[in-house]
Amino acid sequence: MAANLDRLQRSVGYQFTDRALLEQALTHRSFGLPNNERLEFLGDSILNCVVAIALFERFGELREGEMSRLRASLVCQDGLHGIARELDLGEYLRLGEGELKSGGFRRPSILADALEAMFAAVFLDQGFDAAKTVIDRLYAPLIAAIDPRVAAKDPKTALQEYLQGRKMALPTYTTVKVHGEAHAQEFEVTCEVNALKIRTTGRGASRRAAEQQSAENALAQLRKS
Amino acid sequence: MAANLDRLQRSVGYQFTDRALLEQALTHRSFGLPNNERLEFLGDSILNCVVAIALFERFGELREGEMSRLRASLVCQDGLHGIARELDLGEYLRLGEGELKSGGFRRPSILADALEAMFAAVFLDQGFDAAKTVIDRLYAPLIAAIDPRVAAKDPKTALQEYLQGRKMALPTYTTVKVHGEAHAQEFEVTCEVNALKIRTTGRGASRRAAEQQSAENALAQLRKS
């Protein structure tokens, strides 16, 4: 690990009692054992929980589905990757030879996993409240930037408003398949945004649910691009 | 609320400081506001986190994917419903007229949601460690019953061994559909267990993934029956 872990700990705002936990969190499986694979599972759970608490406390007016959507947008790989980049996390990673050569220290999934693993390392080092403090601090700018009136919109509405704001034509929803018997039908719907060359599919137990799912997938593609 | 909340608190092993939180957790949306919808979102996150911690600490030999599968089987509606029934949670629910008449107090989804909401209520009442203690206690029998050598198996292997152990014929996997272009295909596979009259469908980006999904769905049906 070339870079100085003290600098990382200052950026994160947390000093590890057991520094070996931090080192493990920064170790990709390509480097050998112990690595951060199991820590990532634990860290992902802690992150989801802490972000749920933050949304619950902050946005009393949001309903369950709205909070779920908001959380998904915050804890996704993109969100984690952005924070990992701010921390220069790539500089501290321990990667195997192959990953090192292929630029693994810049790969969003590797960075996101290491950040989640670090949350677990803080939890194992000092408990839930310490992990919560670290996550709350790193996520504060993202959570402060949320406009609940926008973020909580259902995916079809959010997509429509995004396109209207850019003077683009509205998406076309097409039901391409319905299967199952009357009491347990499944709908398959495509959502096409011609101006952006996006075409996604959604499934659901109703046409409306399938459309929302396809719009959600289109929004996910937009966020990636 | 006909039944005495003291009895429920004794069964759960937790005394609320703010009893209104417990009452809200037991209030279905059909009854009015405040109800347990938002609490359920929070409680689900706390439950997932606490079970992840328990699995992480207890089963050091399991890999990430194995822990994820195990957790999914523990925090699913069936698992929650089983615990809710042991607590006689249905007796304490506050339901609207319609739900009351149609037997909502026995409905697995309503019971599971109320139990998750109760975990959130404990968290709001006394913090994460209190909620963790309650969940750990209620889940202890389920976690103690886990055989990691069996539970961690992939779904196809688990299903095969279940059937072999009962001298039943192995399942048949049939690819019923492949769609999408070469680089983004989706497979649809059915899994049939004739002896048990089970037929499930799975989808995935590869035949193998779709088979595993169909086997997972078959196992879910087995667990329900």
For residue A104, pLDDT beyond 70: yes
Q: What are all long-range contacts of B201-207, with beta carbons under 8 Å and residues at least 24 apart?
A: B201/B176, B207/B175
Q: Is domain A5-151 annotated with CATH 2.40.440.10? A: no
- Sorted by sequence, the CB contacts under 8 Å of residue B210 that are 6+ apart come out as B175, B186, B187, B188, B189, B202, B203, B204
Query: Could you say which of A18, A23, A86, A116 is catalytic?
Result: A116
pLDDT level of residue A221 (50, 70, 90 thresholds): confident
The yes-or-no answer to whether B5-148 and B155-224 have a common fold is: no
pLDDT of residue B184: 74
* Residues B52, A47 contacting (CB under 8 angstroms): no
Tell me the DSSP string of A141-175: HHHHT--HHHHTS-HHHHHHHHHHHTTPPPPEEEE
Side-chain half-sphere CA neighbours of B102 within 13 A: 9
Q: Which residues pair with B199 in a beta bridge?
A: B192
Q: How confident is the model at residue A2 (pLDDT cuts 50, 70, 90)?
A: very low
Is the Cβ–Cβ distance between A89 and A22 less than 8 Å?
A: no
Q: Residue A123: list chain B partners with CB under 8 A.
A: 53
Domain range list for chain B: 5-148, 155-224
Which tokens is A134 given? 């670290």
Tens of pLDDT along A62-90? 888 888 888 988 998 889 999 999 999 99
Catalytic site residue from B6, B23, B37, B44: B44
Query: Is the separation of the CB atoms in B108 and B77 below 8 Å?
Result: yes
Q: What are the pLDDT digits (tens) for A122-140?
A: 999 999 999 999 999 999 9
Residue A38: its chain B contacts at CB < 8 A? 56, 60, 62-64, 67
**Is A44 labeled as catalytic in the residue annotation?**
yes
Choose the mutation target among A33, A45, A58 for the interface with B, i.e. most B CBs under 10 Å. A45
Say if CB B139 and CB B54 are below 8 A apart: yes
Residue type, A56: F
ipTM of the complex: 0.74
B5-148: CATH superfamily: Ribonuclease III domain (1.10.1520.10)
Average confidence (pLDDT) over A201-208:
89
Q: Check B41 against A49: CB less than 8 A apart.
A: no
Instruction: Read off the pLDDT of residues B62-121 as tens digits, 9 standing for 90 and up.
Output: 888 788 888 988 998 889 999 999 999 999 999 999 999 999 999 999 999 999 999 999
What is the tens place of the pLDDT at every residue in B5-59?
A: 999 999 999 999 999 999 999 999 999 999 999 999 999 999 999 999 999 999 9
Q: How many CB pairs under 8 A join A and B?
A: 61
Q: Which two tokens stand for residue A101?
A: 């050569």
- Assigned CATH topology for domain A155-224: Double Stranded RNA Binding Domain (3.30.160)
pLDDT at A51: 98
Q: Tell me the per-residue pLDDT of B140-190, one tens digit each, with 9 for 90 and over.
A: 999 998 877 666 678 898 888 888 888 888 999 999 988 877 777 889 999
Catalytic-residue membership of B161: no
B68·A41 Cβ contact <8 A: yes
